[in-house]
Chains A and B, each alone.
Chain A
Amino acid sequence: DGGITQSPKYLFRKEGQNVTLSCEQNLNHDAMYWYRQDPGQGLRLIYYSQIVNDFQKGDIAEGYSVSREKKESFPLTVTSAQKNPTAFYLCASSGQGWYNSPLHFGNGTRLTVT
């Protein structure tokens, strides 16, 4: 089955540590995205990538970094510079069709930093 896999489902870290969230897709999609969900704030865009080896900052990129070395993979690193890292993180991808290219989401990673 094609889809997006995010791992792990739950992640716990101590303050001051960097942590990397995994996102893998086998949908052959070119574009991939990272969103963060906080209560009452909807989904906010962190980073996105249209093609391999290229990515752009979203609306809340500070304290995060990404890489896109392979089409299938778009890992997100939450650095110690991110002031409020505890959140639910969602990875998504989209295909090439212009008006038939909805975002497909993974099931998310809940990160808790204490």
Chain B
Amino acid sequence: DQQVKQNSPSLSVQEGRISILNCDYTNSMFDYFLWYKKYPAEGPTFLISISSIKDKNEDGRFTVFLNKSAKHLSLHIVPSQPGDSAVYFCAARGATSGTYKYIFGTGTRLKVLA
């Protein structure tokens, strides 16, 4: 049962243009959502997050949007740079019996073309 889904395995974008990465979730009790960037053979690096009480959060070139009614979040990168090429994971936090765990999607590989 995949509670967090990233349906696009890969995405190619021209340098300077906008990259939009999408993520869907099924559990309406998730209260905190995060995006991570990952290079091969390294740990994921935290990019940006958003709580369920907001619908938008910005940090420099990165903006995350949350649509709770659609159970959908997206990450916008503007402008895209070649160094942004990596695998991006979305994650959601949920509670089970008083403990909290983070569930990840399967990732989207972004390639920014120079």
Residues of chain A touching chain B, judged by Cβ–Cβ distance below 8 Å, are 4, 6, 31, 33, 35, 40-45, 48, 50, 56, 58, 88, 90, 92, 94, 98-108, 110
Contact = CB atoms under 8 A, between A and B. Distances in A.
Interface in B44-58: 44-46, 49, 51
Nearest to B104: A43
B106 interface: yes
Interface residues of B, number: 26
Contact of A103 (B9, B46, B105, B107): B46
B66 interface: no
A103 B102 contact: yes
Interface of B: 6, 9, 32, 34, 36, 41-46, 49, 51, 89, 91, 96-97, 99-107
B51 A99 contact: yes
B44 A43 contact: yes
A88 to B, nearest CB: 7
A108 B41 CA distance: 7
B102 A33 contact: yes
Given A31-B100, A42-B89, A50-B100, 6 more contacts: A43-B104, A94-B102, A99-B51, A102-B49, A103-B34, A103-B46
